[in-house]
Structure formats: C-alpha cells, structure tokens
Amino acid sequence: MSKRTATFVFWGCMDLLYVAHHVWANLAKGRIPIYDDVLAFQQVQLSDPGPLALPLFSLGLLTMVSIIVSAWLFLSGSRFARALAYVQVPFRLIFVMPSLPFIPWIVPLAATSNPVFGISLLILCEAAKVGTLLWSKGVQQRQTAPP
C-alpha cells in the first residue's frame, strides 16, 4: 500500500468514524440526524435569533454533509479528496468538528478544564491532517517524477 493510499484510507476512516459517532449520538437521544437539527432550527427561527443564525446553521450543515462526501472521496482514492479536506479546515475549526473524532473524548480526561487545551488540540488535529496530506502528496510526486 502506498503512503498516499494509507493516508487517504486513514483520513477516510476518521471521517466515517466522525459520521458514525454523530449518527449514534443522535439516535441514542431518539433524534434523526440532520432532520431533527433542521426541525430544531426552524423552532429557533420563530424566536428571531438574529441575522447570522441562518448562514451559520447552513454552513454547519454543509460542513457535516461535506464530511460524508470527503469520507467517500478519501476511501475511493479520488484526487479531489485533498482539496475538499483543505476547504473543510476553517469550518471544522469554527464548528468544532475535529478530523480526529476521538479528540472530544480526550478533553474530559485531561487534568484541566482550560478551554485553551481543547482549542489547542483541535488546531493540532487539523494541522496534523493538512500536514500528512501535504506530506503524502510530496511523496507521491517524488515517486512519479522521472529520474
């Protein structure tokens, strides 16, 4: 297995794990993922939450859907997987949707309740993803370059 393929499989599995956890957490609460989010948002809209509510909700929903798409792109080895992953980074940071889905499980185990710790882990997580994707691209280019 090439380094590129291994990197893509890893990040594709991490995206799948994120989606699976999201689905499981919602079903455990008796909620239908995404559908119940939209219904809850419609209820909030009735109380006039402000002009940024709809754009932020829409971007969060789009980010969730894009994680499903990126899982498929990574696992299918698509050349578009990297580009989507790079575009996702700021939205994953804003909406706290880490590429390493076990990060939220680590934060409560830490001996600190400092939010900077959690934010730092999230940033490191996304930097690790971008770094490994850039690294695997460089390895791939060196392997395919003519001597």
The 10 Å CB-count burial string (b at 16+, else e) for 97-108 is: bbbbbebeeebe
How many Å apart are CA 119 and CA 96, to the nearest integer?
9
Least confident range from 23-27, 50-54, 91-95, 122-126: namely: 50-54
Domain count, the chain: 1
Cβ pair 101, 21 in contact under 8 A? yes
CA atoms of 102 and 99, how far apart (whole Å): 9
Distance CA 99, CA 83 (A): 15
Q: Are 121 and 106 in contact (CB under 8 A)?
A: yes
Q: pTM of the prediction?
A: 0.86
pLDDT tens per residue across span 80-130: 999 999 999 999 999 999 999 988 887 777 777 778 888 999 999 999 999
Distance CA 144, CA 91 (A): 33
Contact 88, 63 (CB under 8 A): yes
pLDDT of residue 143: 64
Give the residue numbers spanning the domain of 62. Answer: 3-144
